Amino acid sequence: METTQNNRLIAEFMGYELEETLTDDTFVYAIPTINNNLDFFEPNELLYHTDWNWLMGVVKKINTSDYTVEIHSMDTRIYNNNTGIIIFESECKWQQDELLNSVYEAVIEFIKWYNENK
């Protein structure tokens, strides 16, 4: 799956829906900012794959459900709090931004699993 599709998957998991803009035929996600304003992003402008601030919102949502995201220096693990079963684990090489990639990959795989099993 390409990055734009993965980011759309995350946005939908977060509860954001595509909305048609009033000025043309483009579609955007209305995403709340820290100040509870809305910023509008086309699907190819979503930053979950490059920005910790975006990605941590997803981790927080997962952690407030029956699941836990554990982020370590070399890997990421998501498991079910009730059963202790690991849903997905992603290991990374020690490279710049590799941990972000590990968390991003784990979140994507978790959401795919979650959508199939909810």
DSSP for 75-90, written as a single string: EEEEEETTT--EEEEE
What share of residues in the chain are helix, strand, coil (percent, to 5)? 40, 25, 35
Q: What is the DSSP letter of 64?
A: T
Q: In whole angstroms, give the CA distance from residue 115 to residue 111.
A: 6
Give residue-wise pLDDT tens across range 11-31: 999 988 877 776 666 788 778
Strand partners, 41: 29
Percent of the chain residues past pLDDT 90, beyond the cut: 56
Backbone angles phi, psi at 14, to 5 degrees: -75, -10
Give the pairing type, strands 18-20 and 38-41.
unpaired
pTM of the model: 0.85
Give residue-wise pLDDT tens across range 66-105: 999 999 877 899 999 999 999 999 887 667 678 888 899 9
Angle between helices 52-63 and 98-117 (to 10 degrees): 40
